[in-house]
Amino acid sequence: MIDRYTMPKMREIWSEENKFRKWLEVELAACEAWSSLGKIPREALHKIKRKAAFDVKRINEIEKETNHDLIAFLTSVAEKVGRESRFIHLGLTSYDVEDTARSMQLCEAADLLIKDLDDAIKILKRRAKEEKHTVMMGRTHGVHAEPITFGLKLLVWIAEMERNVERLKQAREVIAVGKVSGAVGSYAAVDPRVEEYVCKKLKLTPSPASTQILQRDRHAQFVTTLAVIAATLEQFATEIRNLQRTEVWEVEEPFGKGQKGSSAMPHKKNPITCERIAGLARVIRGNSLAALENVATWHERDITHSSVERVILPDSCLLLDYMLHLFAKVIDGLVVMPQNMRKNIDKSQGLIFSQKLLLALAEKGLTREEGYKIVQTAAMKTRNSGGNLKEEILASRDAMRYLSKEEIDKIFDIRNHLKNIDIIFRRFGL
């Protein structure tokens, strides 16, 4: 991933240095296991653990000749260890090391992303509490529906983000698996106790059955989970973009001092950060399709998935980490404009209280069809006249036959309309 969309901690997780470090951890754990089984002399194990190291530059040099990264790595380590290196990689195949190490990297990445999600949820909860009673227009199909509060909108986002945390925890559990079962998973050249030891030491679960590789449904679940989280962020970003449109103008993403909105139009304040989040979500969705394509491999393995994963696994983790940081920054500094929200509510001409009127007439004994006709007739007159639904209802003989002015005043009181908002907030401990 390009540096523009990369955060330092996630970059370190997916660095070549960290990858080779994980490979070495797997190899050393296997040596310890073999030593406990009497296959490697203790003196040799001590020397291996003392001297084992690698040099990334040297690995790259060797790989130009071998065209095999794991062999290049082992050669680099052997140059540091000496003759005892003959005990390293005993009975193992490349993907015993690479897949097990990759699971460790994915677990590290998942832990960082879970922290990112938790941080974003904390900010959302703070902002939701601040905007608990900030009344705004609720919209369906892009059209005014009924009043809500901006705090309620944020509660819906919090609930979705909390589901994403659970999804990612499940995906982490599925990928927290290692395998040290040999060339085709039959343990022909490696004792199953080596796998048990290695996985326990590296805090992984041994795969109950594997081929030469871990099966790629695990990786597909992980990447598709990242894609779902990215889609969530795109949904939130799209909502902010819509609310920032000039015709709506109810919120604005932060606009820094010295920031410029357009090279041609000095007045512009564009939702560029939310647009970036929406755009990058498309990349992760594309990666999730590639992850699903990787599930199908030939027989006990082929290498079609390998080149794909060198791109999609680090890139998806790096992008989502970056997007979560962007989103948290946007929510933390989001400018909310209650006065514009109220102006937009007033544009509805009181039509947003039609359901309350319909329900009130039903309580008076009218059928739904009878009540609907009365309210709809008044609503259409309101649209055509440019007046207010409340005025039309007060002037309607059919409506006033059943409702008093006091009852109508109560129906058109927004505070009464939103009286149950506190119940929803209590579900979140807010």
List active site positions: 141, 262
Residue 176 has, within 13 A of its CA and on its CB side, a CA count of: 17
| 412 SS3 class | coil
CA 32 to chain centre: 38
DSSP-assigned letter for residue 210: -
Query: In the structure encoding, which two tokens stand for residue 147, read together?
Result: 């009043």
**Residues in Cβ contact with 367 at an 8 Å cutoff, skipping those fewer than 6 apart:** none
The three-state (H, E, C) secondary structure of 290-318, written as one string: HHHHCCCCCCCCCCHHHHHHHHHHHHHHH
Query: In the structure encoding, which two tokens stand for residue 384, read together?
Result: 């055509």
DSSP-assigned letter for residue 261: S
What DSSP element (H or E) covers 136?
A: strand 135-140
| 67 SS3 class | coil
Nearest to 287 by CA among 228, 223, 217: 223
Query: What are the φ/ψ torsions at residue 209 (nearest 5 degrees)?
Result: -160, 140
Buried b (16+ CB within 10 A) or exposed e, 355-373: ebbbebbeeeebeeeebbe
Distances (CA, A) of 77 to 26, 29, 50, 93, 236: 13, 15, 12, 16, 48
Nearest to 372 by CA among 359, 362, 390, 358: 358
